[in-house]
Structure 1
Amino acid sequence: MSRLLCIFTLLFVATNAVAADLTVDVGNITSNRGNIVVTIYATEEDFLEDGLVTMIQPASPGRMALVFEGLTPGDYTASAHHDEDGDGEMDYFFGLPQEPYGFSNDARVMLAPPKYEDAVFAVGADGATVVANLVD
């Protein structure tokens, strides 16, 4: 029994030892209407399609820091948008975003979503902070 307890303890410690925190610093928030929505993507294949985790916080003008705890160190991307009407999704008009949005590393949109290479960043064992300033 004590051997089993030791094994579980070692697994717990090993799992928590590799977990890191990611802070996404969202800027250019112009109002307190609605929510700020940030999604983290774990692979290039998942980028803008299948998020690993999403955090939603009530909007506050200026800058907001959203902290994602317990990520495995590695490469990630992030998207952010200001869901001003609180409907839980990005609003589009003729394919163009109608709510402020941004991507990690301030990757820019040029008539198409940003390239993965422009938005990717590394989370190390000590964690990371990435900036995503919103644009209209």
Structure 2
Amino acid sequence: MKTATQLKNNVLTTLVLFVLSITLGFAQSEATTTIEGQTITVTIDKVKNNTGQVMFALHTKDTWMKGQGVQNVSTKIENNTVTVTFKNVKPGTYAVMALHDENENNSMDFENGMPKENYGMSNNPMSFGPPQFEDAKFEVTTEDLDFNIRF
């Protein structure tokens, strides 16, 4: 038969082990949620003016030219410059599109079939016609990336 002191020590040991397992479980869970992917920082200098916003979309080949990207960010323009950051981007092939939405209607405006508002893509390809994913694509691996896009 166990004494009261032995029972007390067993309960105390079980309690300490329980608290440690919960604490380590949260620490492990936190570590896996904070290191989900890479960071992509995109900057555009020399925006035509500070009117409106610049809309950015991070795309995969499947989302390219089909509306929303896998991540979308809009930002105000200050001193003709904008910078945004896409966080927790998983490894893969992506492309970034950016649009200077001067009238803040959340879409590209056209006149006679030609864009009225400035836009650009990662890799800054010189293209005639619709933007192509193949021209703007880049690989996300194990390092953070920084891009400058030109309008």
TM-score (normalised: structure 2):
0.75
**Separation in structure 2 between the aligned mates of residue 33 and residue 62 of structure 1, nearest angstrom:** 9
Equivalent residue in structure 2 for 1:105, among 120, 123, 137: 123
Q: Is 1:127 paired with 2:132?
A: no
Unaligned 5+ segments in structure 2 are 1-17
Q: Give the aligned partner of residue 58 of structure 1.
A: 76
Equivalent residue in structure 2 for 1:69, among 87, 91, 100: 87
**Separation in structure 1 between the aligned mates of residue 26 and residue 126 of structure 2, nearest angstrom:** 45
Q: Give the aligned partner of residue 39 of structure 1.
A: 57
1:51-74 deviation per Cα after TM superposition (whole angstroms, max 9, x unaligned)? 111111112344322122222233
Larger RCO of the pair (alpha carbons < 8 Å, separation 6+) = 1
Bigger mean CA deviation after superposition, 43-52 or 56-65: 56-65
Unaligned 5+ segments in structure 1 are none
Quote the RMSD (CA, aligned, Å): 2.0
TM-score (normalised: structure 1):
0.83
1:81 CA drift (Å): 0.9
Hey, which bits of structure 1, 4+ residues long, moved more than 4 A?
A: none
From the CA coordinates, give the structure whose radius of gyration is larger. Answer: 2
Question: Is the 8 Å Cα contact of residues 38 and 143 (structure 2) preserved in structure 1?
Answer: yes
Larger helix share, 1 or 2: 2
How many residues align structurally? 132
Percent of aligned positions that are identical: 23
Q: Give the aligned partner of residue 88 of structure 1.
A: 106
